[in-house]
Structure 1
Amino acid sequence: MAREECKALLDGLNKTTACYHHLVLTVGGSADSQNLRQELQKTRQKAQELAVSTCARLTAVLRDRGLAADERAEFERLWVAFSGCLDLLEADMRRALELGAAFPLHAPRRPLVRTGVAGASSGVAARALSTRSLRLEAEGDFDVADLRELEREVLQVGEMIDNMEMKVNVPRWTVQARQAAGAELLSTVSAGPSSVVSVEERGGGCDPRKALAAILFGAVLLAAVALAVCVAKLS
């Protein structure tokens, strides 16, 4: 029961972390917006909630001295997968912090493309575009507050990783995989000769009558081509 619960929590954490990773890649791009920053905030908070629950559940199980050897090996594999997922989450949060600081939403920016248009009309258009609505002014503080909160959350995730290593010491190089390395390749290679033999057995030998018909058809075709060439030269 505990193993299934830990697997479900870890699966949810993996999906949430992957979603957060894809969202972080769009920060500073053409799809960057207020909605994206809010979605990033919700996703990382959900990931941290799942991480706290998964960490507490796995820690309680692995600190049980009466746990069987096979069960402990399975939970150690889950622990290694969880720690790797948490490392990726921390790296993406640091990346989001750097990109958010480099590309603020409501700060004045220099246009990347200069059209060269000048005159009274361009001045009026520039003044119209520089006018900020009340809604944007109200939301202008969200960017700064979110970056401060994200900075605190990055430190919290780092502390969680340190506490994990202190409570449960599971070196990653000591955890054994369920199957040998390259098992998929070996199974594919072993299946290759049998498939070739089965194809040869199903194919059978060549039919002499079909071969003779093919030879006769080729000879007639060559004769027709030669006759056409001779007629063309005589004409």
Structure 2
Amino acid sequence: MARDECKALLDALNKTTACYHHLVLTVGGSADSQNLREELQKTRQKAQELAVTTCARLTVALRDRGLGVEERAEFERLWVAFSGCLDLLEADMRRALELSAAFSLHAPRRPLVRTGVAGGTAGVAARALSARSLQHEAERDFDVADLHQLERDILQVGEMIHNMEMRVNVPRWTVQARQAAGAELLSSVGPSSAGGMSVQERAGLCDWSKALAATVFSAVLLAAVALAVCVAKLS
């Protein structure tokens, strides 16, 4: 049950980290806005909560001396996958910090046209500018506060990675994968995509295609030679 729980937590963390990665890629683009920054903040907080819970569950499991060999090997694989996920999360958080600092939400906006209109409309314009200024102030406060919080979150994730290495010693190069390298790619090109043919059948089909191509090329070459001879006789 503990293993299934850790797998479910790790799966949720992977999805949240992937979502955060895609959101970070839009910072500074045409879709950037305060709504995006707020969504980044919520996704980052959710990823951190999942990371803390997953780390606690895996640490307790791996420090249990009563684990069997197969169970320990499975938890070690989950631990390595969790470590890689944290590394990606920390890298994306650092990238978000750089982009958010470079593309600030409270860039100054000034009117391009001054009509010089005065009178009754001046009060309306003043109230509109005042409301806009309040909105910019709110954006500025959120932007600055989120950058400071993001810096603290990066330190927290880095500290978590360091504590993981100190509490549980699971070198990544000692953990054996359950599948061979490239198994996902090979599984995607399975019998359904190959029409259910075996390797020998596909090889035979390839040889037949080569023979057909050679035959067609020979026929075209003979036709060209015959045409050249006819042209020579007619001339």
Moved over 6 A (4+): 186-190
1:35: which partner in 2? 35
Which residue identity is paired with 2:81?
Answer: A
Q: Distance in 2 between matches of 1:167 and 1:7?
A: 20
2:162: which partner in 1? 162
Runs (5+) with no aligned partner, structure 2: 117-124, 206-235
Answering whether residue 45 of structure 2 is matched by residue 54 of structure 1, we say no
Q: Distance in 1 between matches of 2:75 and 2:63?
A: 11
Q: Distance in 1 between matches of 2:168 and 2:115?
A: 65
Paired residues for 1:79-90 under 5 Å: 79-90=79-90
1:193: which partner in 2? 200
2:103: which partner in 1? 103
Q: Is the 8 A contact 2:17 2:89 kept in 1?
A: yes
Partner secondary structure for residue 179 of structure 1: coil
Q: 2:113 aligns with which of 116, 119, 122?
A: 122
1:222: which partner in 2? none
Query: If the length of structure 2 is used for normalisation, what is the TM-score?
Result: 0.72
Deviation, structure 1 residue 192: 1.9
Distance 1:64 1:124, change over 3 A: farther
Which residue identity is paired with 1:146?
Answer: D
Partner secondary structure for residue 198 of structure 2: helix
Deviation, structure 1 residue 195: 5.2
Partner secondary structure for residue 144 of structure 1: helix
Runs (5+) with no aligned partner, structure 1: 111-120, 199-235
1:12: which partner in 2? 12
* RMSD after superposition: 3.0
Q: Which has the larger radius of gyration?
A: 1
Which residue identity is paired with 1:144?
Answer: V
Deviation, structure 1 residue 143: 0.2
Q: Distance in 2 between matches of 1:181 and 1:103?
A: 40
Q: Distance in 2 between matches of 1:86 and 1:182?
A: 23
* Worse overlay, 63-72 or 173-182: 173-182
Partner secondary structure for residue 122 of structure 1: coil
Partner secondary structure for residue 158 of structure 2: helix
2:138: which partner in 1? 138
Partner secondary structure for residue 169 of structure 1: coil
Which residue identity is paired with 2:91?
Answer: A
Q: Distance in 1 between matches of 2:66 and 2:92?
A: 37
Query: If the length of structure 1 is used for normalisation, what is the TM-score?
Result: 0.72
State the identity %: 78
Q: Distance in 2 between matches of 1:155 and 1:11?
A: 24
Deviation, structure 1 residue 134: 2.3
* Worse overlay, 154-163 or 177-186: 177-186
